[in-house]
């Protein structure tokens, strides 16, 4: 049975259902899926977003230099003819060894962003090295259209790039949203003192990239212009102490920690907009499912999922200043609800476009195409492929 081996440095909870779907679809095509995963760094563990895939193989993982270097060998799990899918992270030393290996008996693919969208030195040596590694594999699985363009711009053949449209289990989110009753939302609003108030929510890991200082400073300005305004923060992470202190300082700010399932859904259902002035990633799909227009900035550090935001339709992408951001939030919440309602409807419509089922199907179709093009005889990075662009979904 042909095998595809997918390697994850660590397993997150939102990837578990993806691999379950892919395992079933690939099995129907007579293929075996093998998943390998290791351990998170100490900082990542504080995000409380780890997941467990019962049939995955655990990898011994070692970190050095405060997590900036990782040794995670997995050669013992590989067989000739495999398609091996790894992530493109500069810190993964073993992956670099694989990309430099000559005469591989297996095909090698990257799954990732295409470049570091959070880099403050896009022309620096690290990014030049990443661009070089981009061309050292046989196939690419790109997160979004933005990723696909970055990979092609680095010189990788576009006909060997599969577009995934990265997603989470939006159907599960929708089921959790639909289970929320108006009575339970009203009770929660009363508990927090949110009755009759416009509510903004932040949900995500409490990390530097989320720009929590900017968020709270901007919301302080919004509250000054509209004393009824309230901010709810959902999440945990390295900057927890900062958020806790801000919540003690501001009566209009409530922090509830990391939530999941129905409880998370009930909290999100209280909100009118979702605020994310820093790095936007998969959280945009939470916003879409709950009909929350996302308001972010052109800060230049967004993950590829920013491609899903249509400025002025399902969210707002505003100038990266406190004044511009606070004005955008305040104006949207204070209008006659016509624009806010229209954007909420557009967000829900966008949620139907991006699903985990579609992503899993795109991934599996890309794997099948890669096997068809590359064969099972190992690496063929030097060989041009005369075939149409592999862009599912």
pLDDT score recorded for residue 188: 96
- Flag whether pLDDT at 34 surpasses 90: yes
Average pLDDT, the chain: 91
- Flag whether pLDDT at 383 surpasses 60: no
Using left for φ > 0, alpha for ψ between -120 and 50, and beta otherwise, residue 346 falls in alpha
> Domains of the chain (ranges plus CATH)?
3-167+355-374 (3.40.50.2000), 171-353 (3.40.50.2000)
Please state the rounded mean pLDDT for residues 126-147. 91
Per-residue pLDDT band at 150 (split at 50, 70, 90): very high
Tell which residue, 363, 17, 362, has the closest CA to residue 168: 17
**pTM metric for this prediction:** 0.78
pLDDT score recorded for residue 128: 84
pLDDT of 79-114, one tens digit each?
A: 999 999 999 988 999 999 999 998 899 999 999 988
pLDDT of 290-328, one tens digit each?
A: 999 999 999 999 999 999 999 999 999 999 999 999 999
pLDDT score recorded for residue 361: 97
- Flag whether pLDDT at 59 surpasses 90: yes
DSSP 201-249: EEES---GGG-HHHHHHHHHHHHHH-TT-EEEEE--STTHHHHHHHHHH
pLDDT score recorded for residue 48: 80
pLDDT of 159-189, one tens digit each?
A: 999 999 999 999 999 999 999 999 999 999 9
């Amino acid at each position: 049975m042909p095998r595809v081996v997918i390697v994850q440095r660590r397993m997150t909870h939102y990837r578990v259902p993806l691999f379950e779907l892919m395992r079933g679809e690939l099995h129907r095509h007579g293929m075996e899926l093998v998943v390998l995963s290791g351990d998170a760094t100490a900082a990542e563990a504080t995000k409380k977003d780890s997941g467990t895939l019962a049939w995955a193989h655990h990898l011994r993982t070692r970190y050095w230099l405060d997590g900036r270097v990782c040794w995670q060998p997995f050669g013992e799990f590989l067989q000739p003819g495999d398609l091996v899918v790894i992530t493109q992270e500069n810190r993964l030393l073993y992956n670099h060894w694989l990309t430099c290996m000559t005469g591989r008996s297996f095909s090698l693919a990257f799954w990732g962003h295409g470049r570091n969208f959070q880099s403050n030195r896009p022309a620096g040596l690290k990014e030049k090295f990443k661009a070089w590694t981009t061309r050292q594999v046989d196939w690419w699985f790109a997160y979004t259209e933005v990723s696909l363009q970055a990979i092609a711009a680095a010189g990788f053949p576009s006909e060997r790039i599969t577009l995934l449209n990265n997603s989470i289990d939006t159907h599960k989110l929708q089921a959790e949203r639909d289970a929320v009753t108006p009575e339970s939302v009203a009770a929660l609003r009363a508990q927090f003192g949110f009755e009759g108030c416009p509510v903004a929510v932040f949900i995500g890991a409490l990390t530097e990239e989320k720009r929590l200082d900017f968020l709270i400073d901007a919301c302080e300005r919004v509250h000054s212009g509209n004393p009824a305004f309230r901010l709810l923060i959902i999440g945990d992470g390295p900057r927890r102490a900062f958020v806790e202190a801000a919540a003690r300082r501001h009566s209009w700010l409530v922090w509830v920690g990391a939530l999941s399932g129905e409880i998370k859904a009930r909290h999100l259902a209280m909100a009118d907009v979702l605020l994310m002035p820093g790095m936007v990633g998969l959280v945009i799909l939470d916003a879409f499912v709950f009909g929350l227009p996302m308001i972010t900035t052109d800060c230049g550090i967004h993950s590829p999922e920013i491609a899903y935001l249509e400025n002025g339709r399902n969210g707002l992408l505003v100038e990266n200043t406190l004044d511009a951001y606070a004005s955008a939030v305040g104006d949207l919440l204070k209008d006659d609800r016509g624009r806010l309602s229209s954007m909420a409807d557009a967000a829900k419509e966008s949620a139907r476009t991006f699903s985990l089922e579609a992503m899993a199907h795109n991934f599996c179709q890309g794997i099948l195409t890669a096997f068809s093009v590359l064969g099972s005889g190992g690496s063929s990075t030097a060989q041009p492929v005369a075939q149409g662009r592999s862009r599912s979904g």
